[in-house]
Structure 1
Amino acid sequence: MAFSGKYELESQDKYEEFLEAIGLLNAKTDHKVVTEVVQDGNKFTWTQSIPNWTWSNTFSVGEECELTTMMGSKFKAPVTMEGGKISVQFPQYHFTAELIEDKLVMHCTIPGEKGVTFKRVSRRI
């Protein structure tokens, strides 16, 4: 199933715990995050936005890509897809995204002592 589309936040679980664990609790927002995904084969542009803030990454599945964290730091990591699920290891957490019944479901998992998994579900708009 193609990821391309625009999605609006429907629900999220452990949002504040996740932000606190990565040191971004002051970035908490009550705005509904809009995620826009443009997919052309294995190449993606993934953009998340709220008023006055946008975060975007362009990557190709199956390749090591230069990506940017929410705070603007650059890093390199391979992006994989298995069973329709995109996966990438960010510096502080592991990110996965998949489509489940036309909803974009994202998980950000922090391992170890601070272990928390943030789940965000967005509906196609």
Structure 2
Amino acid sequence: MAFAGRWEVESQEGYDEFCKVVGIPADVIEKGRDFKTVTEVTQNGDDFTWTQAYPNIKVTNKFTIGKECDMESVGGKKFKATVNMEGGKMTVSFPNYTQTNEISGGKLIETCKAGSVVMKKVSKKI
């Protein structure tokens, strides 16, 4: 249940380069650069609802650890994916990047990798 709660981004690294690599339009990158994204996670055993609110966009994905499900990216792309959990780290492969989520020091750490480009977001519980 460590992921459950509301989280607000307090810092991020590699945002611009990552967004460009995954094809996010320049105007969307600009709007989101300093936005304090809020992530809300509910958990019931292995079942999760993961909602992220961005400028003018709210994305909700529901999934069960280890089972393929329908997901949607921030860019609106729909795809199938399986979210896995190992050693307290949650991983999922999006169409053009992978994301790892973990709780460390009471913070939600989201690490996204597209090839050699990495974006890291650190969120505090609110």
Same fold (TM over 0.5): yes
Instruction: Verify: 1:10 aligned to 2:10, yes or no.
Output: yes
CA RMSD of aligned residues (A): 1.1
Secondary structure class of the residue paired with 1:70: coil
Could you tell me which runs of 5 or more consecutive residues in structure 1 were left unpaired when the two chains were aligned. none
* TM-score, normalising length: structure 2: 0.92
Q: In structure 2, how many angstroms separate the alpha carbons of the residues matched to 1:108 and 1:51?
A: 19
Amino acid at match of 1:6: R
Percent identity between the two aligned chains: 47
Question: What is the rounded CA distance, in whole Å, between the counterparts of 2:70 and 2:55 in structure 1?
Answer: 25
| TM-score (norm. length: structure 1) | 0.92
The superposition leaves residues 6-30 of structure 1 with CA deviations (integer Å, 9 ceiling, x where unpaired) of 0011100000000010111331222
The alignment status of 1:79 with 2:80, answered yes or no, reads: no
Distance 2:17 2:27 in 1: 12
After the TM superposition, which segments of 4 or more aligned residues of structure 1 sit over 4 Å from their partners?
none
2:67 is the alignment partner of 1:66: no
Deviation at 1:50, TM superposition (A): 3.1
- Where structure 2 has 5 or more consecutive residues not aligned to the other structure, the ranges are none
State how far apart, in whole Å, the 2-side matches of 1:110 and 1:46 are.
Answer: 21
- My pick for the range that moved more, 25-34 or 64-73, is 25-34
Q: 2:124 is matched with which residue?
A: 123
Count of matched residue positions in the alignment of Structure 1 and Structure 2? 122
Q: Which residue of 2 aligns with 1:97?
A: 101
